[in-house]
Amino acid sequence: MSLSLILTTTPDEDSAAQIARALIDKRQAACVKIIPKVMSVYRWQDTVESDTESQMLIKTAREHVASAYKTVCALHPYEVPEWMVIEPVSASDNYKKWILEETLTP
């Protein structure tokens, strides 16, 4: 079993916290970090936009990526939420073990 780090953003801390709690409650993630007030600059519908968002770093087992995506999409307020999955090159054995244990279904 391998790990995944998932990146997504939300418009505010409240929506990020709601998504984070759902992922943790469903054991689809071991940890979700919420970094408030990041500036995003992007093109949307042919216009350059900039917004303050909350960045989410979702730490999980690779096997939960698809189910986590469904949870995020069900709760996310954006029409096209950011969804990027990064496969870590390495992680400490103890941290990897903790993530895998926390995402096991009881």
Whether pTM exceeds 0.95: no
Q: How many CB atoms lie within 10 A of CB 69?
A: 16
Query: Which domains are assigned to the chain?
Result: 3-102 (3.30.70.120)
Whether the CB-CB separation of 58 and 44 falls below 8 Å is answered with no
Nearest CA to 64 out of 91, 29, 99, 21 is that of 29
Quote the crossing angle between the two packed helices 65-75 and 13-25, to the nearest 10°: 140
Q: Return d(Cα 28, Cα 88) in angstroms, integer.
A: 17
* pLDDT by 10-residue block (mean), the chain, 106 residues: 94 98 98 98 95 98 98 96 96 96 88
